[in-house]
Amino acid sequence: MEHDSTIGYTSLNEEIALDQLPIQGSIPVWLSGSLVRNGPAKFEVGTESFQHWFDGFAMLHRFTFERGRVSYANKFLQSDSYRQSMEQGRIVGASFGTDPCKAVFKPSMTEVVNANVSINHVAGEYVAMTETPLPVVFDPRTLETLGVMEFGDRLTGHHGSAHPHHDASNRRTISYMTEFGMESQFKVFAIKEGRPERTLIGSYPVMLPSYIHSFSISEQYVIIAEYPYRVNPMELLMRNRPFIENFKWYPEQGTQLLVMDKRNGSIVGRFSTDAFFSFHHINAFEQDGDVFVDLSAYPDASIVTDLYLEQLRNNRGRVDGTNESEFRRYHLPLGHPADPVTYEMLSWQGIELPTINYRRSNAREYGVAYGISVDKQRPEAVSNQLVRVDVDTRTTTIWSEQDCYPGEPILVEAPDARAEDDGVVLSVVLNARKGNSFLLVLDAHTFAEIGRAEVPHHVPFGFHGWFFPT
């Protein structure tokens, strides 16, 4: 008997705090700190409903580990849009894909936004982020919202990344944003550790800006993928349509891969390849003067429209594999510009919400990536397995369980780790059979289950999280 996974797209209204969750198996006693997850958890206000999964109001979920025990708390992010919506009994604020009579894209940089995508550590603060350029600061112990991060600079832009990169060698954060206008600008900037001030690294004009969700860095470069999913900026600013519905797919234009020097912002390479779309880069590195970029690639941008809530809740998402992502490695011949761009598949399984051992491996050659995917033998409209990909041997290990739907896997290194996969992988899993969720702990090398901690309610399908060690 199959059970309904669509509970993952239903609202969770309760906020609770539990000192200890029931555990099956065991939790490593060395695991100390908190996993904080972010994602949409409320999809209705009064009689109005959000239309796209990406629009639900943000909820933070904290799992804290101490001496083999796990505590849990969850709390809504108190954004301006959330508070005003609760007060007025209707949807208020900017949105990604919801009806414009309820929520219209507005290029505002002052409101506390519905930051429901990711968790990061920026300029010494713990922040929730979305694609609006201003992060929202919160207290990781209490999950209390502390307000928008105010930057002491004059840098402007409308659409940014929820996935900044930590440039460890230069003790700074790197990100980007697009400023829409008659001549739109794509801007890459840096934020020094402990200083909420953005410094421009480099910028370039774009006529029809691409929808870009993430990027990657190598030791010397910033790598930007511009997909042919583009928008007329004046239509975006003037037309009464949800943000993403202004974008159109132009496959004949192909995808452009740009390489920017991290030191001075100069474009040192611009490469064209066949059209594809991606939400998430996985990693990038340099080898023999060339650049290699790993990402989760789709044949087109239809995955965006596949994620409207009506389709998800009615299991109308495609299950024939045509919208499944591929783990691709693109070879950008920076040192051999006459050569064509090529790519290879690193896994026979698809991959989404991909992660690596970020501290040890980001921006350099690496050996292991983790993610979620759909079982080809048991295709569903939602990811139903975790994957561990050895990128050197091109082998894939899978964790799955009937009627269970995992979220983004996060690797936590063991204290005495020598290899990049010495540690555990954490994932919040929806158990459709029981109607609740549990935190899964896997051995990061073997992918064998070590233990799980059960939550009394369902955790709606979310996006990204961060582990903060104590």
Output the pLDDT for position 129: 96
Q: Does domain 5-469 have CATH number 2.130.10?
A: yes
pLDDT score for 338: 85
Q: What is the pLDDT of residue 210?
A: 98
- Residue 449 is which amino acid? E
pLDDT tens digits in sequence order for the chain, 470 residues long: 446 899 999 999 999 999 999 999 999 999 999 999 999 999 999 999 999 999 999 999 999 999 999 999 999 999 989 999 999 999 988 789 886 554 444 544 445 589 999 999 999 999 999 998 889 999 999 999 999 998 999 999 999 999 999 999 899 999 999 999 999 999 999 999 888 999 999 999 999 999 999 999 999 999 999 999 999 999 888 877 889 999 999 999 999 999 999 999 999 999 999 999 999 999 999 999 999 999 999 999 999 999 999 989 887 655 444 468 999 999 999 988 889 999 999 999 999 999 999 999 999 999 999 999 999 888 887 899 999 999 999 999 999 999 999 999 999 999 999 999 999 999 999 999 999 999 999 999 999 999 999 999 999 999 999 999 98
Checking phi first, is residue 329 left (phi over 0); if not, alpha (psi -120 to 50) or beta? beta
CA–CA gap between residue 60 and residue 63 (Å, rounded): 10
Q: Residue 451 in 3-state DSSP? A: strand
Report pLDDT for 456.
98
Q: What does the pLDDT read at residue 316?
A: 60
pLDDT at 33: 97
Give the pTM: 0.95
- CA dihedral (38, 40, 384, 2) positive or negative: positive
Nearest to 304 by CA among 245, 351, 349, 255: 245
Residue 7 φ then ψ, to 5°: -60, -25
* pLDDT value at residue 105: 44
The helix or strand, by DSSP H or E, that contains position 199, with its residue range, turns out to be strand 198-206
Residues 6+ apart with CB under 8 A from 291: 218, 221, 223, 259, 269, 284, 285, 331, 332, 334
Alpha helix (H) ranges present in 166-275? 233-238
